Amino acid sequence: MKYKIFFCSVLFTLSSLAQSQSVYFSGGYNIPTTTVAIGIFRTPASVEQNLNTFSKGVNLQGGYQFAVTNNFKLDLNISYLFGLKDEKYDTQSDGSYNSYTSSNFSITPSLNLGFNEGIFAPYAKFGASINFISLDETAESTNPFVNVDFVNSYKDNFTIGFMGGIGTNLLFDKAFMGFIEVQLNSITFYPDELEVTETMNGTKSTTVYYFVDKIDESMMEDNYRLKQDFPYSSIGIMAGLRYVLQ
């Protein structure tokens, strides 16, 4: 009986402390972090490493937030990173190049801790992200004697990452507020499959390869490749509006 009374009192306390539910929308830009060499830029006069990641681009987000107490909130964020399209990451001195097109749809549940200070309400948040990444690489040759193009499509069900952020709400009135937020996204993409589409003299063929940790002698004739990883970590700078439902 005592446990039931305690449980009911906890529920009553949480419900009485819960201040609001809100929805929000924001937009911003992701800047790569922890860059690695993803390609080389070659010219007749120089060779330069391309230090970058695949996570750069415009980011749109929306979400729902539930206040458990004045200082503790549960947050569910949905975002779409448009990334870049046909971004050259590896070039040859003859003009041939490799480019990539990338995007990321992610769902991130997180915990939000903050406090109010006048019209400002600074906060910090942290959580885990579920990422559905799309990455395609294209090889274009300018050599008239080599009429071969490749498109590599990397596939995976989902990739788990981590997100942390700091920001502040700007209280306009009881229902509307603006906010700015800086997010740190830690993500590495490990694809399961590689779909290679080759076009030679107008004839197209597609081959699927599977990524594994080890290839032994019995697997040499099959479509296996050693695992690859692609850096997707970034800092996102976001600004948006929040609407309080109650």
Domain that holds residue 107: 19-244
Q: Note whether residue 13 is domain-resident.
A: no
In contact, 40 and 49? CB cutoff 8 Å: yes
Instruction: Compare 219 and 224 and report the one with higher pLDDT.
Output: 224
50-74 pLDDT, tens digit each: 888 888 899 999 999 999 988 899 9
Q: Note whether residue 191 is domain-resident.
A: yes
User: Helices marked H in the chain — which ranges?
Assistant: 2-17
Q: Note whether residue 8 is domain-resident.
A: no
Q: Note whether residue 1 is domain-resident.
A: no
Q: What is the CATH number of the domain that holds 69?
A: 2.40.160.20
- Count the domains in the chain: 1
pLDDT above 80: residue 246: no
Q: Which residues pair with 88 in a beta bridge?
A: 99
Instruction: Compare 122 and 13 and report the one with higher pLDDT.
Output: 122
pLDDT at res. 14: 41
102: left (phi over 0), alpha (psi -120 to 50) or beta: beta
Q: Note whether residue 139 is domain-resident.
A: yes
Q: Note whether residue 225 is domain-resident.
A: yes
pLDDT at res. 149: 77
Please tell me the least confidently modeled range out of 69-83, 128-142, 209-223: 209-223
* Total-model pTM: 0.81
pLDDT at res. 221: 63
pLDDT at res. 88: 85
Q: Note whether residue 95 is domain-resident.
A: yes
Question: How far, in whole angstroms, is CA 45 from its chain's centroid?
Answer: 36
Q: Note whether residue 7 is domain-resident.
A: no
Report the chain's mean pLDDT, rounded to a whole number: 85
